Amino acid sequence: MKYKIGLLKGDGIGPEIVDSAVRVLEEIGKKYGHVFEFTPYAIGGYAIDNYGEPLPKETVEGCLASDSVLLGAVGGPKWDNLSGNCRPEKALLGIREKMGLFTNLRPAKLYPALKSDSPLREDIVEKGFDIMIVRELTGGIYFGERGTREGKYGYEAYDTEAYSLMEIERIAKVAFETAKVRRGKLTSIDKANVLETSRLWRKTVHEMAKDYPEVECSDMLVDNAAMQLVRNPSQFDVIVTSNMFGDILSDEASQITGSIGMLPSASLGETKRGLYEPIHGSAPDIAGKNIANPIATILSAAMMLLYSFSLKEESDCIVNAVDKVLYAGWRTADIAHGENPLSTDEMTDKIIEEIQKI
Ligand code: NAD
């Protein structure tokens, strides 16, 4: 099969880590007989410097014409003083919107080989955890009516949250389907004791649960969820939640793994075409030094194979290769604690060697 992949390398370490993922995908292509055709498009600070805007029209058109898109990261100190609409980060919201991506999948998995990097207590990490957070991405308070006005106590600012039944149903469907192919457990997180949107969210999820008898579905209030994530993360399999709650909880979940250079993400819409990216930023402090951890981006490519191209065996091959490399003790600087770290290229070589052996 032939797949067209749009590459948004972006800024900072973006080009280095995307190049690593491309090398891994090429190896997978060789091994399993697929052709991956890569086309780079400008985004972020690089696009501002070369095209005068963070998300050029050609980039949007190119991404929409691709079968899927892999993104590095955008932003950096060079562009920090630009105003809102001209900032590199503006391109992220823009491309998600143009591609109609309403779901954000963020796995937070504790790698047994990296247990000691987690900030959690030893008896908690001992049990391990592997959580998939399904976050609604294009609705809720981040997209609601907002403004400033004269209120009861004088000048005030306001933001509003609205969720339609359709928006809740489509994200809940993704979550139930995801739970079905994982460990069959779904926790829906809301604030139904206070928010009307949460009450509709909860009612809708309960209705849909009847169609998924194989999934054990429960609710949790967001304040409790924030606590449970650090108290006993192993209780979670799939979490589904709104845009803002998902934003906060997915960052919390990533931090308890102890290694943000390891965590991938996928943003999906109605079609198979998705946007896959590491959860970390452009790490300007280490850009161009060939020391960044490429694993989050390589695992993002593995998610692309699974969710966009339905290539499960190929995706598993990458995940297993990463597991094996970590078990063998190979580390980049961010997870090496000073002991002979591998460069970005060397870590990529190790993963490719494992892929060849599997
Ligand atoms: P960051 O994630 O870029 O970096 C935080 C720390 O983690 C740094 O010390 C960095 O060196 C380290 N780090 C991150 N990824 C790493 C990797 N793969 N390997 C090794 N170490 C890694 O967050 P930040 O410093 O807050 O932001 C830097 C820039 O990135 C800012 O301009 C920010 O706006 C942007 N940003 C972009 C995205 C995105 O493109 N999706 C996301 C977050 C931040």
Predicted confidence pLDDT, tens digits, the chain (358 residues): 899 999 999 999 999 999 999 999 999 999 999 999 999 999 999 999 999 999 999 999 999 999 999 999 999 999 999 987 789 999 998 999 899 999 999 999 999 889 988 999 999 999 999 999 999 999 999 989 999 999 999 999 999 999 999 999 999 999 999 999 999 999 999 999 999 999 999 999 999 999 999 999 999 999 999 999 999 999 999 999 999 999 999 999 999 998 888 999 999 999 999 999 999 999 999 999 999 999 999 999 999 999 999 999 999 999 999 999 999 999 999 999 887 899 999 999 999 999 999 8
- Single out the catalytic residue among 4, 130, 142, 185: 142
Nearest to 264 by CA among 235, 310, 304, 204: 304
Which pLDDT does position 157 carry in this prediction? Answer: 96
- Kindly list the distances between the CA atom of residue 145 and the CA atoms of 248, 257, 295, in Å, as whole numbers in the listed order: 21, 35, 38
Q: Are 42 and 55 in contact (CB under 8 A)?
A: no
Give the relative orientation of helices 14-32 and 344-357 as an angle to the nearest 10 degrees: 10
Nearest to 10 by CA among 21, 24, 1: 21
Q: What is the CATH number of domain 1-104+272-358?
A: 3.40.718.10
191 is catalytic: yes
Residue bearing the CA closest to ligand 1, atom 27? 281
Mutational pocket test of ligand 1: of 16, 96, 280, 297, the residue with most ligand atoms within 8 Å of the beta carbon: 280
Bridge pairing between strands 264-268 and 103-109: antiparallel
44 CA: nearest ligand 1 atom: 40
Q: Are 256 and 114 in contact (CB under 8 A)?
A: no
Three-class secondary structure of residue 299 per DSSP:
helix
Residue bearing the CA closest to ligand 1, atom 16? 261
Q: What is the C-alpha to C-alpha distance for residues 256 and 62, in angstroms, rounded to an integer?
A: 36
Give the relative orientation of helices 295-307 and 312-327 as an angle to the nearest 10 degrees: 160
- Single out the catalytic residue among 109, 191, 324, 350: 191
Q: In the chain, which segments carry CATH 3.40.718.10?
A: 1-104+272-358, 119-256
Q: 44 CB under 6 A from ligand 1?
A: no
Q: What is the C-alpha to C-alpha distance for residues 314 and 320, in angstroms, rounded to an integer?
A: 10
Q: 54 CB under 6 A from ligand 1?
A: no
Query: Across the chain, how many H-helices and E-strands are there?
Result: 13, 12
Q: Ligand 1: distance of its center to the CA of 97 in Å? A: 22
Q: Are 121 and 231 in contact (CB under 8 A)?
A: no
Q: 352 CB under 6 A from ligand 1?
A: no
CATH class, 119-256 region: alpha beta
Q: 334 CB under 6 A from ligand 1?
A: yes
Residue bearing the CA closest to ligand 1, atom 9? 283
Which pLDDT does position 260 carry in this prediction? Answer: 84
Max CA pair span of the chain:
68
Q: Are 323 and 338 in contact (CB under 8 A)?
A: no
Nearest to 106 by CA among 200, 236, 211: 236
Nearest to 265 by CA among 300, 302, 237: 300
Residues in the chain: 358
Mutational pocket test of ligand 1: of 262, 282, 298, the residue with most ligand atoms within 8 Å of the beta carbon: 282
Q: Ligand 1: distance of its center to the CA of 14 in Å? A: 10
Q: What is the C-alpha to C-alpha distance for residues 245 and 187, in angstroms, rounded to an integer?
A: 13
**φ, ψ for residue 50, nearest 5 deg:** -100, -25
